[in-house]
Structure formats: C-alpha cells, structure tokens
Amino acid sequence: MKKLYTVLAITLLTIPVSAFAATRTVTLDVPTMTCPVCPITVRKALRAVPGVKKVDVQYAKREAIVTYDDATTNIAALTKATADAGYPSKPDGKGK
C-alpha cells in the first residue's frame, strides 16, 4: 500500500502545470483609446504578455478581448501591460 501511495505521489508531481491550466477570455475596457491608431499599441502591449493566445482590439467599442492561459498570466498582468503602454484598462465586469 505504501508503494502505491509513493507511485501516486510521484505521478502527480510529474504532471505538468499546464495540464491544470485553462484558457480564459476577458474583455478589457480601454476608455483612453482616442484615435484609430491607439489599438495598435494596445494590441502590441497585450501580445507581449507571456500566455496571451489571442488579442482583438476594437477601437469603436474601446475594448480589448484577450484570450490567455491562466497558468501563465492573469488579468492583473494584462491591465498592467495596457497601463504601461499608456492605456489604462479594467475588466468590463460582464464575466465573459
């Protein structure tokens, strides 16, 4: 029985963290985008964040829809990236 627990523990420790990761999507409100060129900067900033898989920035709606790996990054890192690029953002609160 002790051997079984040892094998089980070793197996669980060798499973990559990515096996428990989930792909999430968040919509960020970016109200300070004031021209049609602003989305380029926002898109570049978000794509530079490790774990980001897809970015869709819509100037007309002043929002960025980001798909990311939650084992690698989080919403705080995404909003920091936009703020560091000069475009503060926040999650839209709709829980997409």
Full domain range(s) for residue 41: 20-91
Number of domains present in the structure of the chain: 1
Contact 43, 57 (CB under 8 A): yes
What is d(CA 75, CA 50) in angstroms, rounded to the nearest whole number?
12
The CATH number that applies at residue 50 is 3.30.70.100
pLDDT (0 to 100) of residue 9: 59
In a domain, 72, yes or no: yes
| Antiparallel, parallel or unpaired: β 23-29 and 90-91 | antiparallel
Task: Indicate the pTM of the whole model.
Answer: 0.76
What is d(CA 8, CA 90) in angstroms, rounded to the nearest whole number?
42
Tens digit of pLDDT for each residue in 8-17? 556 556 555 5
